[in-house]
Amino acid sequence: MRKITAQLFISLDGVVEAPDQWHFPYFNDEMGAAVDAVFGAADTLILGRRTYDSFAGAWPEREAAGGEDAPFAKVLGDARKIVVSSRRLEFTWRNSEQLTGDLIEAVTALKNEPGTSPISISGSISVVRQLLTAGLLDELHLLVHPIAVRHGMRLFEDGKAPLPLKLISCETFQTGVLNLRYAPAESPGQATYDDAKTHLRQPHQ
C-alpha cells in the first residue's frame, strides 16, 4: 500500500491560509531540505484546485527560466498531479489530470496501486481534512512558524470530532520553525483530573 504524506506551512495560531504572505522570512536551508524530503521522493501529488492553480501559475515558468529553483520545479512538473475539483478542468501543465468520482474511493484506490513511491499533498486544506477524517493520510507534517497571523483559515475546523494524532518526530530549525511529523493515533481514552493529579509533584515529607 502506498503512503500518503501531507506537508503544510502553519502559523503558531493554526493558520494555513496564504502562507506566501508570512512564511518566506523563515524559509532557510533546513526548511528547503524538509520540503525536498517530502516532494523529492514522491512521484504523485494530490492537489486541491486552488493549490494547483497557484502551482501551475508559477512552477512551469520557473522551470523554463532555468534559475536556482528550476530543479525543484522540474520535480513538480515530472510528477503525476491529480487535481481535486467539483468542476471540469482543463490543463496545460504536463502530467496533470482531474480526480474522477468520490474523493475517498479514488484515493483508496490510489493507495492500493502497485508501487512504493510516496504520494504527497501540499496545501489543499479541504483535501487534507477529508483524508485525515477518513484515515487515509499516513503522515501529517506541520512546519510550525513562530508567528501568530491572527486571521485566515485554520487547519482544524471548530465543531468537529476530536482527531487524535501521535508525534513521530520533532525538529527545531534555526529560525524557530518546528518541523513536526504526526501520524493517526488511537483515542487516548477517558480521564479526569483525579487521574491527572497523581502525576503532579508531591511535597517532600
How do residues 9-67 score in pLDDT, each as one tens digit?
A: 999 999 999 999 999 999 999 999 999 999 988 999 999 999 999 999 999 999 999 99
Q: How far apart are alpha carbons 81 and 147 in whole angstroms?
A: 31
Q: Where are the beta strands (DSSP E) in the chain?
A: 4-11, 44-48, 80-84, 96-98, 119-122, 139-145, 165-172, 178-184
Q: What is the SS3 assignment for 30?
A: helix
Question: Residues 60-84: what's their mean pLDDT?
Answer: 95
Question: Residues 101-120: what's their mean pLDDT?
Answer: 92
pLDDT at 116: 84
Amino acid at 63: E
pLDDT averaged over the chain?
93
pLDDT at 28: 97
How do residues 140-157 score in pLDDT, each as one tens digit?
A: 999 999 999 999 999 998
Please say if the pLDDT value at position 76 is more than 80.
yes
For 4-199, give the CATH class.
Answer: alpha beta
Please say if the pLDDT value at position 112 is more than 80.
yes
SS (H, E, C) 156-200: CCCCCCCCCEEEEEEEECCCCCEEEEEEECCCCCCCCHHHHHHHC
| pTM (whole model) above 0.85 | yes
- On the 0-12 / 13-18 / 19+ scale of CB atoms within 10 A, 158 is exposed
User: Model confidence at 202, in pLDDT bands (50, 70, 90)?
Assistant: confident
- Going by C-alpha positions, the residue among 5, 2, 19, 8 that lies closest to residue 120 is 5
pLDDT at 205: 58
Amino acid at 51: T
